[in-house]
Amino acid sequence: MDRAILSAAAHQLGEFGYARMSMESVATAAGTTTPSLRRRYRNKAELVAAVIGSLRVEEPPSGAPTPRAHALAILENFHSNLRAIPALAILGSLLAEEERHPELLHLFKTRIVEPRRELLRQALAAGDLPYSADLDALTSMLIGSFYGRYVTIDGIPDDWPNRVLCAVWPADTSPASPHHDDSL
């Protein structure tokens, strides 16, 4: 029953937003009663906090042959997770409720966003970027590009992780590289 409740709540939070989601509609979608739901979660904020805590994001791979390959794997994993859960729709709803429920946005940041940012920052730090590179700015630019691209007409294309990483950390394009394009 707990999984059904959290699944129904995540779906409704992503589809309707926090303001239009109700305990009654979640209970109905989960196949339970509102009193039963309220025994588990006192209010909607508590339920949404449980949803955020339950979001299962796939962990990025830990091993890669180079720091750049590791950074790319982290961005690809981030992209995959954005597709697997309604993360961006949930984030939009939480941003709209930030004034009334700042704890929910904070939980989303600490549970979903910050762990990925830290892994990416570490991968960038291990790379051969210039010493003067601002790793915090680069991390924000890379992660933020997904949010920015999401709101365009075309959404986030499949090749976005590589394209955005190439903008700040070009792939090896030497003639020995299998990705070298002589037409450039």
Q: Give residue 36's pLDDT.
A: 95
Q: Give residue 56's pLDDT.
A: 67
Element (H, E) at 4: helix 2-20
Work out the average pLDDT over 153-163.
91
Question: Between these two residues, 171 and 176, which has the higher pLDDT value?
Answer: 171
Domains of the chain in start order, with CATH, are: 2-54 (1.10.10.60), 67-168 (no CATH)
Question: Between these two residues, 177 and 100, which has the higher pLDDT value?
Answer: 100
Mean pLDDT is highest, among 62-66, 127-131, 137-141, for: 137-141
Residue 174 predicted with pLDDT over 60: no
Residue 90, CA distances (Å) to 81, 97, 116 in order: 13, 11, 17
From CA 149, how far away is CA 170, in angstroms rounded? 20
What is the pTM for the complete model shown?
0.76
Q: Give residue 59's pLDDT.
A: 72
Cα angle 114, 118, 121 (rounded to 5 degrees) comes to: 135
Beta-carbon count within 10 A of 184 CB: 5
Q: How far is CA 14 from the centre of its chain?
A: 13
Query: What burial class does residue 120 get, using C-beta atoms within 10 Å of its C-beta: 0-12 exposed, 13-18 middle, 19+ buried?
Result: buried
Element (H, E) at 13: helix 2-20
Q: What pLDDT digit, counting tens, does each position of 26-85 carry?
A: 999 999 999 999 999 999 999 998 888 887 667 777 778 889 999 999 999 888 888 777
Q: What pLDDT digit, counting tens, does each position of 83-122 carry?
A: 777 778 888 888 998 999 999 889 888 887 888 889 899 9
Q: Give residue 41's pLDDT.
A: 95
Work out the average pLDDT over 7-36.
92
